[in-house]
Amino acid sequence: MNQKPYIVGVAGGSASGKTSFLKVLKKRMPEGSVSIVSQDNYYKPFDTQEKDENGEVNFDLPTAICRESFHRDLQALMAGNTVRVKEYTFNNSAKISGEIELAPAPVIVMEGLFIFHYNEIRSFLDLKVYIDAKEDIKLKRRILRDATERGYAENTVRYQWDQHVVPSYKKFLRPYRDNSDIIITNNVRFDKGLDVLISHLNTKI
């Protein structure tokens, strides 16, 4: 790659719709033009995670992520190298973890809860995109998602939401919202915001 890739950060609260948004974005962009790096695949091993006062693992902390590897892989992609990362399966024993190959591309999207909080990632971002949604909508989505994809009981999801998700959101994510370049509201649909972003990215490839 001769030209420096355009680096986009996409952040938003849990269940704000980041994954769905980016799936559609990648599908609508020219093939090979976008590489998406998800923070979710950089969680540290379960037995090294911090626990709350009740002994429950708290995955909603910046320290839950191996940020050194996350940063290293961004630099590798920027240098034109392909990287491989093991898919994180969120302790779902029924799901077999595979290897994800990330190829360099004109547009690199760094996606996750703490994209803006990690200084070493934020310093590389050419564009900061924030996906926003109402709290009650995000909670409903998370209950459905965690039951379907991760096999979590609703009471477990609500505990994590109240004790981990919301406090972390208020401390490590929400403060960066108003400094974002684009804020996309996703209470029902994100089509218009997506159109704006795609139009912009097509000028960068």
Closest listed residue to residue 63, CA positions, set 44, 76, 77, 45: 44
Looking up tokens 């630099």, which residue turns up?
75
Q: Report the relative pairing of strands 6-12 and 107-111 from DSSP bridges.
A: parallel
pTM of the full predicted structure?
A: 0.92
pLDDT value of residue 1: 47
> Which strands make up the sheet holding 127-132, listed edge to edge?
34-38, 107-111, 6-12, 127-132, 182-185
pLDDT per residue, tens digit, the chain (205 aa), is 458 999 999 999 999 999 999 999 999 999 999 999 999 999 999 899 999 999 999 999 999 999 999 999 999 999 999 999 998 876 555 566 789 999 999 999 999 999 999 999 999 999 999 999 999 999 999 999 999 888 899 999 999 999 999 999 999 999 999 999 999 999 999 999 999 999 999 999 9
Tokens of 121: 């990632």
